[in-house]
Amino acid sequence: MLNCHTERSRSVVSASHNLEQNMKYIIYIFTFLFFAISVNAQESLEFKKLENAVLAGGTLLRVEAFPSENIKPRPVDVWLPENYTADKKYAVLYMHDGQNLFDATTTWNKQEWMVDEWATKLMNSGEVKDFIVVGVHNIPQIRWQDLYPEKAMNFMPTKVRDSLITIAKESNFNVNFKGDEYLSFLVDELKPVIDNQFSVLSDKENTFVAGSSMGGLMSMYAISEYPDVFGGAGCLSTHWPGAMPSPNNPHPVAIFDYMKKNLPEAGTHKLYFDYGNKTLDQYYPKYAPNVDEILKEKGYTDNDSKNLFFEGTNHSEQSWNQRLNQPLVFLLGK
């Protein structure tokens, strides 16, 4: 009886082991198939030319709803310079708020960054290397959640963070932070497609990220979280208050503490910051010493970092397009 019982036990154990192995195999197959389908779907994405885009030069292409497992799908634009050719390789500049970059006739405020104007002019004059621009559109209702540097919240005292979240929820404000997912979209979903479909250099030295306001924060966050992917970041009118400017605001302290720990050390990256002093930019000058101090502590000099003040400039595309040559030359200069 003992032997029979032992044999039955062994059979049960063996069957259980086989079932476990089979389940692992099935999960593996489904994971592989899902990944393969996702990759094939992205590789088959077609960037269609925007025939009616009003541009100073180059060509604008768009995917209307770029698929993502990380963030809500949204349009993604790719601007190609004049005489773009597969016979040479181009650097890549990823930019946030893509709908505001190229064509003022389609923007909400009839302003634009004039990216195509500046890029065309600077490439033609030989001041910068040849590059393309990838513009990720924002979704206004969730822009803040997408672009806030998510891990900075961990640098707040727990009670302060919990209090802010409670107040936000009571005000029916969405606190579903997506900054990390937004970066996963950029790095793991969007960049492989750009590298595959366009004639570009995929190394860190030729991959840059830029934006303004919350997009400035996200650009700083991108190069901090993925220093092996992005070699430079352009952060215009960076929104150091993090949320609505207010007395005793805990966001800037948390953001700067995050930067002290995570901003890449000097030597292999370029960091560009700037700010004005009108409209929303009026809240930024007081934070300039904090930025300067962090850059100095990290070993940055004028050769690989900037934190520039533009007197009398406000928080708008009109201000950013007047000085866009500064970050472009600094980051992509020959």
pLDDT digits (tens, 9 = 90+) for 11-22: 544 555 565 666
Per DSSP (E only), the strands in 40-199 are: 48-49, 59-66, 74-80, 91-95, 131-136
CATH number at residue 115: 3.40.50.1820
Given a cut of 80, is residue 186 above it in pLDDT? Answer: yes
Residue 19 domain-assigned (yes or no): no
12 located within any domain: no
Look up residue 264 and give its DSSP letter.
P
Whether residue 27 is contained in a domain is answered as no
Tell me, what's the pLDDT at 13? 46
Q: What is the mean pLDDT of residues 141-155?
A: 97
- Gyration radius of the chain's alpha carbons: 24
- pLDDT of 59 above 50: yes
Integer Cα distance of 317 and 68 in angstroms: 28
Residue 323 lies in a domain: yes
Question: Do the domain assignments include residue 252?
Answer: yes
Q: How far apart are CA 151 and CA 181, in angstroms?
A: 11
Look at residue 37 in the predicted model and tell me its pLDDT: 45
Share of the chain above pLDDT 90, in %: 86
**C-beta atoms surrounding 330 within 10 Å:** 18
User: What is residue 177's three-state secondary structure?
Assistant: coil
CA angle 250-251-254, nearest 5°? 90
Among 70, 61, 156, 72, smallest CA distance to 102 is for: 61
Classify burial at 21, counting beta carbons within 10 Å of its beta carbon; exposed 0-12, middle 13-18, buried 19 or more: exposed
Which H or E element spans position 317? helix 317-323
Sign of the C-alpha dihedral computed for residues 220, 224, 225 and 231 taken in this order:
positive
pLDDT per residue as tens digits for the range 81-129: 999 999 999 999 999 999 999 999 999 999 999 999 999 999 999 999 9
Domain total in the chain: 1
How do residues 192-218 score in pLDDT, each as one tens digit? Answer: 999 999 999 999 999 999 999 999 999
Say what angle helices 214-225 and 250-262 make with each other, to 10 degrees.
30
Amino acid at 184: S
Residue 14 lies in a domain: no
Q: What is the token pair recorded at 156?
A: 């707040």
Query: CA 334, CA 329: separation in Å to the nearest integer?
Result: 8
Average pLDDT over residues 27-51: 65
In a domain, 133, yes or no: yes
Selected residue with higher pLDDT from 232 and 31: 232
What is the identity of the amino acid at 265? E
3-state secondary structure at position 22: helix
Instruction: Please give the Cα distance from 101 to 116 (Å, whole number).
Output: 8
For residue 240, pLDDT over 60 is answered with: yes
Least-confidence region, from 66-70, 171-175, 237-241, 327-331: 171-175
Higher pLDDT among residues 33 and 137, named by residue: 137
Asked if the structure places residue 2 within a domain, the reply is: no
Average pLDDT of every residue of the chain = 91
Residue type, 154: N
pLDDT at 44: 74
DSSP state of 81: -
| Structural domain for 104, as ranges | 48-332
Cα separations (Å) of 5 from 2, 8, 12, 17?
A: 5, 5, 11, 18
Q: How many CB atoms lie within 10 A of CB 158?
A: 8
The 3-state DSSP class for residue 78 equals strand
Closest Cα partner for 68 from 186, 218, 223, 225? 186
